[in-house]
């Protein structure tokens, strides 16, 4: 085969494969062009999830008639002129590939007018970059790009599109993220002639927080602190959630570099380190953060869709982010009105010292490594329990946290986990056994017990539900409220009764009978976060155990709650009959044993 040049339209279609994955990819490119045009108001009209129509109009600077053919040609742009410009890109777009790529897989019409001309001009394109014939149009100052029948000429690409609802959900999520990056702009999003998003420009801090609340939910603003940190030519500003307001998913983390939304491993690691000593394992912080730095210090040309960036001084940026967030969280004081606080620090701090990830040496840990943990209790002890039950009759029944259990009145050796003698610091159960003593983390152990019972009930199709005496009103985002209503059957299967009572309000009327009266508000938010991340209920059902683990965690005995001797013994008995009781749902150990021999060695007895 001889080497030959590819047709221009095919070249553009290949380029489209890199930047046009789905309708939301088209919307992203067009809205970013609106940003670069200096627009203050953007209108996005979508039909059939974007597969039929995508129309984006702005009131920006517009395009001259003579430049319209160039706007639809590859590698033609007004945003860079030389290599030096490419090394310090300050605009959202700069390659000049978006419009010709989009036009090669759709029917594209471009209408634009500058404020210095009497009328607008319209051109249509098919990706061939030829035969442009501008026609006059009464369009006002600004630009409109209309994309009809996306992927009409590439059927293999079109068949990979999801349902109309799913594709529009991606567009809606994208517009919300982009609206968080430009508070000075207004956004109007319509789907099938129905208004979905209408955001006015937000100049004041109060208006900005109102926009954030409309996108992330009012609870985000109520549980976050505004920060403004400047050091070594870098600035980090925005809102960070309190450690107590965390999520089970990374679905509420928005990070912008010079106004561009990005996903970056360096950023993720720095944030994780900053929260690691104040956030429970497996939880994720929430934040809306803006990093501003010299454009020359960041390469935005590292990813075809510009979703990733490359920092030229990665360690500098990492340490700055870590120190800014770590210090901002340290500035918080108990009892303060956290959501009104502003942490503002301006200083020059040394950023060269690396943050150590070195683990604590074994000899510096609290417990000596020679102490056996869970060494003598088998994971399944049903046979042993039955043997003891034959020797020690059941004399009475007690209950703890809505669970009926049997309490024996035998000697200390009658059960593998012994009998409780104290509740230490309202956290740990101290139990005496025939072989020594056992310490139990009450919350961790009860969490596993609850989790295993919930699994059995759920998979058998019967999770008992308990009506609430007083229904609980929960403020959520509009997307979460939609999901709560849409997944009514799924919530019912888990033992919850939830009704929607407003655009961003749901009412909780019943909960699983196994749960106590713990923080149901946070629990429902976590389940909704999982739904948002995993999409349709079928995928959530496939990960049902993770949902049940979240429920079990919230419904378990909390630290600082004083337990009676009967309640502690009831938990010990349940532990003995529960599989995988050695660890809680998060992998933490639930109990340790110190034998008499271990105690003798510790106190040097007999030596």
Q: Mean pLDDT lowest for which of 26-30, 388-392, 483-487, 559-563?
A: 388-392
Percentage above 90 pLDDT, the chain: 40
pLDDT at 407 over 80: no
100-104, 196-200, 509-513, range with greatest mean pLDDT:
196-200
What confidence score (pLDDT) does residue 395 get? 39
Q: Please give the CATH superfamily to which domain 465-512+519-554 belongs.
A: MutL, C-terminal domain, regulatory subdomain (3.30.1370.100)
Between 444 and 359, name the one with better pLDDT.
Answer: 444
**Across 102-119, average pLDDT:** 92
pLDDT at 141 over 60: yes
Strands 394-400 and 142-148: unpaired
Q: Mean pLDDT lowest for which of 101-105, 215-219, 349-353?
A: 349-353
Q: Which residues contact 329 (CB under 8 A, 6 or more apart)?
A: 240, 243, 274, 275, 278
pLDDT at 428 over 60: yes
Matching residue, tokens 């919230």:
554
**Across 409-422, average pLDDT:** 73
pLDDT at 341 over 70: no
CA pair distance 506, 493, nearest whole angstrom: 18
Where is 18: in which H helix or E strand? helix 8-19
| Contact yes or no for 555/513 (Cβ under 8 A) | no
Q: Mean pLDDT lowest for which of 160-174, 258-272, 528-542?
A: 528-542
**Across 166-183, average pLDDT:** 96
Q: Mean pLDDT lowest for which of 21-25, 192-196, 551-555?
A: 551-555
Between 241 and 340, name the one with better pLDDT.
Answer: 241
Complete DSSP assignment for 356-368: P-PPPPGGGSSS-
Give the tokens for residue 214: 């409309």
Q: Mean pLDDT lowest for which of 8-12, 103-107, 226-230, 279-283?
A: 279-283
Give the chain's mean pLDDT: 81
pLDDT in tens, 264-289: 889 999 998 888 766 767 788 999 99
**Across 92-117, average pLDDT:** 86
Where is 507: in which H helix or E strand? strand 505-512
What confidence score (pLDDT) does residue 11 get? 82
Strands 186-191 and 497-502: unpaired
What torsion, rounded to 10 degrees, do the Cα atoms 47, 53, 59, 63 define?
Answer: 180
pLDDT at 320 over 70: yes
Q: Mean pLDDT lowest for which of 82-91, 136-145, 382-391?
A: 382-391
What confidence score (pLDDT) does residue 548 get? 84
Between 372 and 140, name the one with better pLDDT.
Answer: 140
pLDDT at 366 over 50: no
pLDDT at 404 over 90: no
Confidence of residue 542 (pLDDT cuts 50, 70, 90): low
Is residue 491 classed as helix, strand or coil in its secondary structure?
Answer: helix
| Contact yes or no for 142/113 (Cβ under 8 A) | yes
428 CA to centre of own chain = 32
What confidence score (pLDDT) does residue 355 get? 36
Confidence of residue 198 (pLDDT cuts 50, 70, 90): very high
CA pair distance 364, 362, nearest whole angstrom: 5
How many Cα atoms sit within 13 Å of 80 on the Cβ side? Answer: 17
What confidence score (pLDDT) does residue 525 get? 86
Is residue 25 classed as helix, strand or coil in its secondary structure?
Answer: helix
pLDDT at 369 over 60: no
What confidence score (pLDDT) does residue 405 get? 36
What confidence score (pLDDT) does residue 40 get? 96
**Across 472-485, average pLDDT:** 90
What confidence score (pLDDT) does residue 517 get? 62
pLDDT at 359 over 70: no
| Contact yes or no for 566/398 (Cβ under 8 A) | yes
CA pair distance 273, 276, nearest whole angstrom: 5
Indicate the class that CATH gives domain 205-346: alpha beta
Is residue 142 classed as helix, strand or coil in its secondary structure?
Answer: strand
pLDDT at 346 over 60: no
Long-range contacts of 266-270 (CB under 8 A, 24+ apart): 266/311, 266/314, 266/317, 266/318, 267/291, 267/321, 269/318, 270/317, 270/318, 270/319, 270/321, 270/322, 270/325
CA pair distance 536, 532, nearest whole angstrom: 8
CA pair distance 76, 530, nearest whole angstrom: 43
- CATH number, domain 8-199: 3.30.565.10
Complete DSSP assignment for 162-226: --HHHHHHHHHHHHHHHHHH-TTSEEEEEETTEEEEEE----SHHHHHHHHHHHH-HHHHHTEEE
CA pair distance 383, 50, nearest whole angstrom: 62
What confidence score (pLDDT) does residue 401 get? 39
What confidence score (pLDDT) does residue 438 get? 92
Complete DSSP assignment for 539-591: HHHHTHHHHHHHHHHHTSPPTTPPPPHHHHHHHHHHHHTSTTTTB-TTS-B-E
**Across 284-304, average pLDDT:** 86
What confidence score (pLDDT) does residue 457 get? 87
Domain ranges of the chain: 8-199, 205-346, 465-512+519-554
What confidence score (pLDDT) does residue 547 get? 80
What confidence score (pLDDT) does residue 277 get? 64
**Across 347-370, average pLDDT:** 35
């Amino acid at each position: 085969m001889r080497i030959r040049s590819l047709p221009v339209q095919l070249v553009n279609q290949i380029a489209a494969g890199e930047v046009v994955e789905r309708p939301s990819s088209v919307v992203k490119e067009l809205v970013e062009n609106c940003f670069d045009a200096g627009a203050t108001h953007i209108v996005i009209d979508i039909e059939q999830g974007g597969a039929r129509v995508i129309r984006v109009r702005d009131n920006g600077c517009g395009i001259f008639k003579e430049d319209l053919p160039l706007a639809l040609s590859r590698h033609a742009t007004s945003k860079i002129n030389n290599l030096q410009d490419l090394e310090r890109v300050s605009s959202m777009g700069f390659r000049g590939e978006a419009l010709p790529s989009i036009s090669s897989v759709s029917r594209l019409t471009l209408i634009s007018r500058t404020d210095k001309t009497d009328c607008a001009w319209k051109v249509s394109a098919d990706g061939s970059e030829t035969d442009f014939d501008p026609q006059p149009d009464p369009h006002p100052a600004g630009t409109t790009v209309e994309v009809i029948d996306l992927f009409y000429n590439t059927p293999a690409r079109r068949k990979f599109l999801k349902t109309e609802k799913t594709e529009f959900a991606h567009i809606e999520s994208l517009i919300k993220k982009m609206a968080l990056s430009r508070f000075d702009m207004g956004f109007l999003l319509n789907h099938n002639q129905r208004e979905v998003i209408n955001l006015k420009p937000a100049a004041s801090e109060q208006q900005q927080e109102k926009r954030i609340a409309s996108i992330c939910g009012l609870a985000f603003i109520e549980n976050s602190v505004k920060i403004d940190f400047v050091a070594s030519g870098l600035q980090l500003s925005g809102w960070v959630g309190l450690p107590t307001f965390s999520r089970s998913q990374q679905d509420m983390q928005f990070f912008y570099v010079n106004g561009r939304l990005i996903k970056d491993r360096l950023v993720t690691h720095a944030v994780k380190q900053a929260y690691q000593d104040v956030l429970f394992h497996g939880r994720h912080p929430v934040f809306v953060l803006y990093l501003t730095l010299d454009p020359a210090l960041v390469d935005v040309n590292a990813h075809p869709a510009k979703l990733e960036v490359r920092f030229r001084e990665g360690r500098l940026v990492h340490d700055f982010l870590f120190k800014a967030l770590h210090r901002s969280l340290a500035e918080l004081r108990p009892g303060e009105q956290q959501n009104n606080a502003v942490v503002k620090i301006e200083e020059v701090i040394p950023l060269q010292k690396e943050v150590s990830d070195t683990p604590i040496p074994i000899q510096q840990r609290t417990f000596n490594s020679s102490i056996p943990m869970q060494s003598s209790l088998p994971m399944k002890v049903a046979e042993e329990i039955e043997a003891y039950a034959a020797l020690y009759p059941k004399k009475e029944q007690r209950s703890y946290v809505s669970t009926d259990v049997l309490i024996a009145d035998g000697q200390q050796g009658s059960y593998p986990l012994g009998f409780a003698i104290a509740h230490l610091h309202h956290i740990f159960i101290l139990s005496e056994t025939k072989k020594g003593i056992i310490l139990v983390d009450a919350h961790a152990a009860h969490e596993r017990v609850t989790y295993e019972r919930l699994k059995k009930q759920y998979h058998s199709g019967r999770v008992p539900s308990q009506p609430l005496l007083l229904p609980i009103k929960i403020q959520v985002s509009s997307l979460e409220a939609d999901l709560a209503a849409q997944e009514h059957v799924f919530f019912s299967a888990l033992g919850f009764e939830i009704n929607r009572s407003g655009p961003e309000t749901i009412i909780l009327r019943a909960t699983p009978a196994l749960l106590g009266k713990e923080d149901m508000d946070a629990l429902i938010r976590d389940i909704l976060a999982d739904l948002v991340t995993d999409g349709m209920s079928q995928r959530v059902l496939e990960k049902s155990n993770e949902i049940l683990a979240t429920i079990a965690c919230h419904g378990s005995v909390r630290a600082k709650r004083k337990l009676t001797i009967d309640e502690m013994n009831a938990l010990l008995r349940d532990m003995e009959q529960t599989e995988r009781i050695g660890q809680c749902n998060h992998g933490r150990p639930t109990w340790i044993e110190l034998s008499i021999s271990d105690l003798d060695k510790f106190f040097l007895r007999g030596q």
